Amino acid sequence: METVIGLTAIAAAILIAFGALGTAVGFGLLGGKFLEGVARQPELAPQLQVKMFIVAGLLDAVPMIGVGIGLFFVFANPFIGMLAK
């Protein structure tokens, strides 16, 4: 029982950590490219900003799903239910 809980905690931590890592790097690259583009052509700033937010939303999806699954395992762990039966 303790093993299952401990391993679930580690699994949730890995889920959230790798999602955060990937997204952080992705957002950094995205922001950097945006700033470069705006520095080259300042008149495109509003358009580029809109498109940046669109890509940011797409990037956000996968770690959010990971966080959702991780939190699900922490608070409503199905493995414990399986153990009881």
Partner 1 sequence: MAGNSTEYIKHHLTNLTYGELPAGYVRHGEHGQEVLTEATWTIAHNGDEAQAMGFKAIHLDSMGWSLGLGLLFCLIFRAVAKRATSGIPGGLQNFVEIIVEFVDTNVRDTFHGKSSLIAPLALTIFCWIFLMNFMDLIPVDFIPSAAQALGLHYMKVVPSTDPNITLGMSISVFLLVLFYSIKMKGVGGFAGELALNPFNPKNPVLKAFFIPINLILEGVTLIAKPVSLGLRLFGNMYAGELIFILIALLPFGLQWMLSVPWAIFHILVITLQAFIFMMLTIVYLSMASEHH
| Residues of this chain that bind partner 1 (CB under 8 A) | 53-54, 56-58, 60-62, 64-68, 71, 75-76
Please report, as a single letter, which amino acid is at residue 49: Q
Smallest distance from partner 1 to CB 5, Å: 12
In terms of CB distance, is 21 or 39 closer to partner 1? 21
Crossing angle for the helix pair 2-40 and 45-75, nearest 10 degrees? Answer: 180
- What is the smallest separation between the CB atom of 38 and partner 1, expressed in angstroms? 19
Length of the chain: 85
CB atoms within 10 A of CB 41: 10
Active site residues: 60
